[in-house]
């Protein structure tokens, strides 16, 4: 039956029972093992959904040993731990077809080893305890040689300015990455300075999410200088919740005026003082910043202008991989 169903076309399996409410029947270990055996010699299935399975390593061995068409594998939420992570890493050393791997919240000790050769990777909340941020060194080395990765999510990594410095060393020489997600880390003005220095040299990176860090006015000034730099390719930037006051936000506003390629900017959660409230409406009314491409909107009370939050933000994922391996824009997500 499977051979009949799989013959002649490519498709992605979707088994959402594992992510829906508990009353929906979930896949068990034996179910997933049987499914993987069916897929072992299939050349049509290019994507596989997340599976809740303690025998995930056995299943992935079955898939990788006999299936050379799998492009996307999403294991987020499965607690495969260090042992499972090492097994998957070993298998990936021999696999040359997988282009997307999602391993969010899998309780892995180190997920940087999975990055090579993938178009997108999700690394949120790793179990890393090193104060030296060795993961950033390895990730930087990967970015130096990797030309296929276009989207990298490093949210909630506990990244400090030291980690940012290491990461930007690889980003300076990277010519493929277009989306860099650095949300919810511990980056301050010095980390923003390293990032800004890299943006002056990198002509590929288009989207940076720095929300929920602490770059403050000085960090915003560094980013503003980079955005205004000739040839800067940045198109979308989020600095929400970064303790930025009027000085830093005004410098960003001037950078938006100077760089017409920057079309999206998100600033909510900072100190939106009166000077900022006055300059933002002029950016919107002049057409330089479209209302749907920022997360604030002006309103007036008793002759004073204020800014209200608009529930818009950077998309979670901008690029995805089609079944033929071609990068295509992902569907827009309303919020983060």
Q: What is the CATH number of the domain that holds 70?
A: 3.80.10.10
Q: What percent of the chain has pLDDT over 90?
A: 45
pLDDT above 60 for 57: no
What pLDDT, on the 0 to 100 scale, is given for residue 62? 45
User: Does residue 163 form part of some domain?
Assistant: yes
61, part of any domain: yes
Q: Model confidence over 90-147: pLDDT tens digits?
A: 666 566 566 666 666 666 555 555 555 556 777 776 665 455 688 888 889 889 988 8
How many distinct structural domains can be found in the chain?
A: 1
Q: How far apart are the first and last CA of the chain?
A: 41
Which pTM was predicted?
A: 0.72
Contacts of 216 (CB under 8 A, 6+ apart): 188, 189, 242, 243, 244, 245, 248
Asked if residue 139 belongs to a domain, the reply is yes
Answer yes or no: is 118 within a domain: no
Whether 150 is covered by a domain: the verdict is yes
Location of structure tokens 């983060």: 336
The tokens describing 60, both together, are 């992935």
Cα angle: 56, vertex 147, 329; to 5 degrees = 75
| Listed range (67-71, 73-77, 242-246, 331-335) with the worst mean pLDDT | 331-335
- The overall average pLDDT reported for the chain is 77
Q: Phi first, then psi: give them for residue 57, nearest 5 degrees.
A: -65, -45
Range of the domain at 291: 11-17+28-42+49-109+132-309
**Would you give the DSSP letter of residue 294?**
B
Residue 299 lies in a domain: yes
How confident is the model over 77-97, as a mean pLDDT? 64
Rounded distance, CA 183 to CA 54, Å? Answer: 30
Query: Is the residue at 231 inside a domain?
Result: yes
């Amino acid at each position: 039956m499977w051979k009949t169903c799989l013959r002649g076309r490519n498709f992605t399996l979707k088994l959402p029972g594992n992510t829906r409410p508990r009353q929906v029947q979930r896949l068990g270990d034996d179910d997933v093992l049987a499914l993987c055996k069916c897929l072992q010699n299939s050349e049509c299935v290019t994507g596989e959904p997340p599976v809740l399975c303690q025998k995930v390593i056995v299943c992935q061995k079955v898939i990788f040993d006999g299936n050379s068409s799998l492009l996307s594998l999403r294991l987020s939420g499965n607690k495969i731990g260090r042992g499972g992570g090492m097994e998957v890493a070993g298998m990936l050393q021999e696999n040359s077809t997988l282009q997307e791997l999602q391993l969010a919240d899998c309780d892995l000790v180190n997920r940087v080893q999975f990055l090579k050769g993938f178009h997108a990777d999700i690394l949120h909340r790793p179990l890393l305890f090193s104060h030296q941020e060795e993961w950033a060194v390895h990730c930087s080395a990967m970015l130096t040689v990797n030309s296929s990765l276009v989207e990298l999510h490093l949210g909630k990594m506990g990244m400090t300015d030291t980690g940012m410095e290491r990461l930007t060393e690889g980003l300076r020489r990277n010519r493929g990455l277009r989306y860099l997600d650095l949300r919810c880390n511990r980056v301050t003005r010095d980390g923003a300075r390293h990032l800004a220095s890299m943006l002056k040299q990198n002509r590929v990176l288009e989207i940076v999410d720095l929300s929920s860090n602490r770059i403050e006015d000085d960090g915003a000034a560094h980013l503003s200088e980079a955005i205004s730099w000739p040839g800067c390719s940045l198109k979308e930037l989020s600095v929400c919740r970064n303790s930025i006051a009027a000085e830093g936000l005004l410098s960003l506003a001037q950078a938006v005026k100077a760089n017409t390629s920057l079309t999206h900017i998100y600033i909510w959660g900072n100190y939106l003082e009166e000077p900022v409230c006055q300059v933002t409406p002029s950016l919107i009314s002049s057409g330089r910043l479209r209302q749907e491409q920022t997360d604030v909107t002006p309103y007036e009370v008793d002759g004073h202008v204020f800014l209200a939050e608009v529930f818009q933000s950077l998309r979670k994922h901008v690029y995805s991989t089609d079944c033929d391996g071609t990068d295509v824009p992902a569907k827009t997500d309303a919020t983060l």
